[in-house]
């Protein structure tokens, strides 16, 4: 394996690195106090409760996320119960007694009557092996009545989200009229409140007496917990370019990464670790054939656009060290001593994320990956470099916790 890197490729790698550093350096930490309160949106309490047996945390999260996503598309704001809140609710209302779906929703309507929320969304579920039976309800807390209900049985696999979404989409139009009515009423009230506040502030400015200004307190709306951890395991092709194209054929790499996400004012910064197993297929019988298995381990940084939309864009960079774990046993001893197992590693690229639910989604990205191998032709000679470069197009599932 011989050769170097062209001036264009050096410029591409340098430009990509500078761009990532510029984006990351221009953002600032987002403060919770900067968020505005959406006064005109109806509020919905969301709960997913077991009708038999103990709770299933995975199922609970899927059902709650599906309900939240569909209801917020209708212009509502949602409040999710924590696991401990739901456990206490079931214990206080029913103890160890029967949890019939109809009785459960009516008991919850009575329990929450008088609270400062307009609607209640419930998913009562029964898990039976690898299948689940779910009863959905949408209730009007102000009128104390059930607006819509539906039942669905499905397998617990990657199609569970899709099955639940279809059921909710068929059910929610029955409640849409009442939700729109409440939304119009709240929007009108919010507009009047804003006009009164503006008029009061204007009067205070005209008289010069700041003590006459009216301060209208806003009701606090609970914020949904941000999911800081992101993980993925995937598989992608490695398409050699430049000199590597003459040495290696199409190769492959299974990969994994984990990152901690930090919300910023302009987006979300993820910092973590990336590793893979690059499986190179050499087309020549020389030293390159001993670069068969290479394991990169590096720091991974990605900057993603703000959440709230089904599609998010991101820019990503990774750098670290790569270890050649190939079999050197057939090499002469002198060659084994001169062939290092360590290389420099760097990668960068762009991609997009498609949210399936709040916790799970599909990511697509294209990375430009580079390995740099340093070697000496003899003990007194200069340092030489060999480059392995390629494009890595990837499609993979990610999960957030």
pLDDT digits (tens, 9 = 90+) for 80-129: 876 566 667 766 766 665 667 888 888 888 888 767 788 999 988 888 88
Q: What are the φ and ψ backbone dihedral angles of 387, each rounded to 5 degrees? A: -120, 135
Q: What are the φ and ψ backbone dihedral angles of 393, each rounded to 5 degrees? A: -85, 130
- pTM for the model: 0.44
For 239, the domain range is 7-29+226-400
Q: Does residue 259 carry a pLDDT above 80?
A: yes
What is the rounded CA–CA span in Å between residue 364 and residue 235?
Answer: 12
Q: Which structure tokens are listed for 34? A: 């900067």
Q: Are 63 and 19 in the same domain?
A: no
400 pLDDT band, cuts 50/70/90, is very high
The CA angle 48-50-56, to the nearest 5 degrees, is 85
Q: CB pairs under 8 A, 24+ apart, for 359-363?
A: 359/61, 359/62, 359/65, 359/227, 359/399, 359/400, 359/401, 360/161, 360/397, 360/398, 360/399, 360/400, 361/397, 361/398, 362/395, 362/396, 362/397, 362/398, 363/232, 363/394, 363/395, 363/396, 363/397, 363/398
Q: Are 251 and 108 in the same domain?
A: no
In a domain, 42, yes or no: yes
**Percent of the chain surpassing pLDDT 70:** 73
In a domain, 47, yes or no: yes
Question: H or E element: which one contains 47?
Answer: strand 43-50
In a domain, 112, yes or no: yes
CATH number of residue 63's parent domain? 3.30.160.100
Q: Does residue 294 or residue 100 have the better pLDDT?
A: 294
In a domain, 249, yes or no: yes
pLDDT tens readout for residues 228-240: 999 999 999 999 8
Q: Does residue 6 carry a pLDDT above 80?
A: no
- In the chain, the N- to C-terminal Cα span, in Å, equals 43
Q: Are 54 and 18 in the same domain?
A: no
Q: Are 301 and 370 in the same domain?
A: yes
Q: Are 13 and 40 in the same domain?
A: no
Q: Are 46 and 124 in the same domain?
A: yes
Q: Which of 25-39, 83-97, 142-156, 179-193 is the least confident region?
A: 25-39
Q: Which of 34-48, 134-148, 315-329 is the least confident region?
A: 34-48
Q: Are 235 and 315 in the same domain?
A: yes
Residue 5's SS3 state is coil
Q: Name residues whose C-beta falls within 8 Å of residue 143's C-beta, 6 or more positions apart in sequence.
A: none
Residue listed under structure tokens 């639940």: 164
The CA angle 388-391-397, to the nearest 5 degrees, is 125
- The reported pLDDT for the residue numbered 273 is 96
What is the rounded CA–CA span in Å between residue 75 and residue 290?
Answer: 59
- The reported pLDDT for the residue numbered 34 is 37
- Domains held by the chain: number: 2
Q: Does residue 339 carry a pLDDT above 50?
A: yes
Q: Are 149 and 233 in the same domain?
A: no
Q: Does residue 44 carry a pLDDT above 70?
A: yes
CATH number of residue 329's parent domain? 2.40.160.20
Q: Are 19 and 63 in the same domain?
A: no
The CA angle 340-345-346, to the nearest 5 degrees, is 165
Q: Does residue 92 or residue 20 have the better pLDDT?
A: 92
DSSP string, 66-95: HHHHHHHHTT-EEEEPPHHHHHHHHHHHHT
């Amino acid at each position: 394996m011989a050769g170097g890197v062209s001036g264009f490729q050096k410029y591409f790698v340098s430009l990509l690195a500078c761009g990532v550093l510029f984006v990351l350096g221009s953002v600032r930490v987002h403060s919770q106090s900067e968020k505005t309160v959406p006064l005109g949106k109806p509020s919905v309490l969301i709960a997913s409760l077991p009708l038999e047996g103990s709770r299933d945390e995975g199922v609970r999260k899927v059902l709650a996320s599906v309900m939240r996503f569909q209801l917020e598309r209708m212009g509502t704001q949602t409040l999710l119960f924590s696991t401990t809140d739901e456990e206490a609710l079931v214990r206080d209302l029913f103890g160890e007694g029967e949890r019939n779906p109809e009785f459960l929703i009516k008991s919850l309507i009575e329990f929450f009557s008088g609270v400062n929320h307009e609607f209640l969304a419930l998913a009562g579920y029964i898990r039976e092996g690898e299948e689940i039976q779910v009863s959905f309800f949408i209730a009007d807390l102000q009128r104390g009545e059930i607006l819509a209900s539906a039942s669905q049985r499905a397998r617990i696999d990657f199609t569970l989200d899709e099955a639940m979404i279809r059921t909710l989409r068929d059910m929610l139009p029955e409640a849409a009229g009442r939700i729109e009515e409440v939304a119009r009423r709240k929007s009108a009230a919010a507009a009047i409140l804003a006009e009164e506040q503006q008029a009061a502030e204007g009067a205070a400015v005209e008289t010069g007496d700041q003590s006459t200004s009216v301060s209208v307190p806003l009701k606090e709306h609970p914020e949904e917990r941000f999911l800081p951890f992101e993980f993925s395991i995937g598989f992608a092709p490695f398409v050699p370019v430049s000199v590597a194209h003459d040495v290696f054929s199409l190769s492959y790499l299974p990969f994994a990464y984990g990152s901690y996400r930090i919300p910023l004012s302009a987006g979300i910064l993820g910092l973590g670790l990336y590793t893979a197993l690059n499986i190179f297929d050499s087309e020549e019988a020389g030293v390159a054939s001993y670069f068969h298995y290479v394991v990169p381990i590096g720091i991974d940084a990605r900057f993603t656009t703000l959440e709230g939309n089904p599609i998010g864009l991101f820019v990503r960079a990774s750098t670290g060290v790569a270890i050649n774990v190939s079999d050197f046993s057939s090499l002469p001893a002198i060659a084994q001593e001169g062939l290092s197992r360590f290389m420099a590693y760097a990668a960068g690229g762009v991609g997009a994320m498609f949210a399936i639910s709040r916790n799970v989604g599909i990511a697509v990205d294209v990375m430009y990956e580079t390995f740099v191998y340093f070697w000496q032709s003899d003990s007194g000679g200069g340092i030489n470099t060999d480059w392995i470069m390629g494009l890595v197009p990837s499609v993979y599932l990610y999960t957030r916790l």
